[in-house]
Chains A and B, each alone.
Chain A
Amino acid sequence: LAKTTQPISMDSYEGQEVNITCSHNNIATNDYITWYQQFPSQGPRFIIQGYKTKVTNEVASLFIPADRKSSTLSLPRVSLSDTAVYYCLVGEGNQGGKLIFGQGTELSVKP
């Protein structure tokens, strides 16, 4: 099982760009990298998923280097509402989508 390591907490200010890096040294060839966001009293919400290089959607970008041993979630111009826990997961593509959640990164955005 591919284990992920990410910072336990991060602080930022409104309007800044936030980059959260995740390490996954033993990622398998057919594993995808997925990020989820979780607010208190809610279930996790899918943010973005990628396999290699760069993926961008309307809320975030995901940067994955060639060796795929790490990935960086980039949140442009964060606001107070981005305060949440962010989880990096590596999916076991050959075993039916089983995902192992780590402890996540608690992002606090200040005014």
Chain B
Amino acid sequence: EAGVAQSPRYKIIEKRQSVAFWCNPISGHATLYWYQQILGQGPKLLIQFQNNGVVDDSQLPKDRFSAERLKGVDSTLKIQPAKLEDSAVYLCASSRGYSNQPQHFGDGTRLSIL
């Protein structure tokens, strides 16, 4: 089966600009996750969708970050305006079900803020 697709692979922007990332999960996977991974750290969950509904967004900085999953398939994560501390890799993952299901990760988008 095809894996989780993410784009772009790299993005460089200046602070205060906006940026968007796109994720296409594995076909049939109901649950979709966005993670932020800062260099040298483990991934941190930003938001979790079950189909097109938000299950957990407790760690999403809602003043600048937003995410949507239209029709329960593709998802976009947006940052507006970006700050220097947002420099990280943004990972998307998907899983078949809701709990204790292995997650399948994309290779992420590396964001650099100048």
Contact = CB atoms under 8 A, between A and B. Distances in A.
Given A43-B4, A45-B105, A91-B99, A96 B48 contact: yes
A61 B110 CA distance: 32
Contacts, number: 67
Contacts of B41: 103
A29 interface: no
Interface residues of A, number: 25
Given A32-B100, A43-B93, A43-B108, A97 B31 contact: yes
A89 to B, nearest CB: 9
Interface string B82-110: 00000000010101011111111111101
B56 A96 contact: yes
Interface of A: 31-32, 34, 41-46, 49, 87, 91-104
